[in-house]
Amino acid sequence: MSFINYSSREINCKIVYYGPGLCGKTTNLQYIYRRMNPDSRGKMISLATETERTLFFDFLPLSLGEIRGFKTRFHLYTVPGQVFYDASRRLILRGVDGVVFCADSQLTRMDSNVESMENLRINLREQGVDGDRLPLVMQYNKRDLPHAASLSDLHALLNYRNVPEFEAVAKSGVGVFETLKAIIKYILVDLKKGGR
């Protein structure tokens, strides 16, 4: 649910990076944090375990300038990817405006990708959000690793809605901003249509 403040002329939207454990959701946010102009981003908060696995969420606020006199702010969140953190994932999805589904391209992770996508649909449905209409962008991460699945396989397995999809190597930043721009555009177009 986007928040529009006519008094301070601000639009706030929430983007959630979703996907299986260790697929690179936090790495996406870390790269964005490093590369964004400090004036355009706030502090990045990571609620992680001692071994740097996301425990609750990462949070990164971005201000992207004005559109029709409204300041645009995007709040980026990641969910904990590990299966047993499902309760936390549901909480973070609350009020989401758009999802980046970050898939791990490694062949051995295909089951986890599919399971996570299914989990996303269930968790959205539980909150009364239509998973087939919510702005969604796919990112196939870790394209640099050997034994990566082919794009057509990833598409066939995960991209059942045929939404925009991007290849990425989040560690070095490949595809990170392309993905971010795509989801922002999708959300704004959705906003223009008057929401879901």
Interface ranges with another protein (CB under 8 A): 1-8, 11-12, 14, 42-43, 45, 47, 56-57, 59, 61, 64-68, 70, 72, 75, 87-88, 90-92, 94-95, 181, 184-185, 188-189, 191-192, 194-196
| Nearest to another protein of 18, 109 (CB atom) | 18
Residue 196 CB, nearest distance to another protein (Å)? 5
Residue 175 CB, nearest distance to another protein (Å)? 15
| Nearest to another protein of 113, 119 (CB atom) | 119
| Nearest to another protein of 45, 174 (CB atom) | 45
Residue 51 CB, nearest distance to another protein (Å)? 20
Spatial distance between the Cα atoms of 26 and 38, rounded to a whole number of angstroms: 18
Spatial distance between the Cα atoms of 60 and 17, rounded to a whole number of angstroms: 11
| Nearest to another protein of 153, 178 (CB atom) | 178
Residue 42 CB, nearest distance to another protein (Å)? 5
The set of long-range contacts for 37-45, using a CB threshold of 8 Å and a minimum separation of 24, is: 39/63, 40/64, 40/65
| Nearest to another protein of 104, 190 (CB atom) | 190
Residue 99 CB, nearest distance to another protein (Å)? 14
Spatial distance between the Cα atoms of 181 and 188, rounded to a whole number of angstroms: 11
User: Which residue do the tokens 């796919």 mark?
Assistant: 138
Q: Is there a contact between 85 and 49 (Cβ–Cβ < 8 Å)?
A: no
Q: Is there a contact between 48 and 29 (Cβ–Cβ < 8 Å)?
A: no
CA-based Rg of the chain, rounded to a whole angstrom? 16
Q: How far is CA 169 from CA 28, 30, 37, 153, in A?
A: 9, 13, 21, 18
CA 92 to chain centre: 11
Residue 102 CB, nearest distance to another protein (Å)? 20
Of 23, 31, 25, which is closest to residue 142 (Cα–Cα)? Answer: 23
| Nearest to another protein of 155, 181 (CB atom) | 181
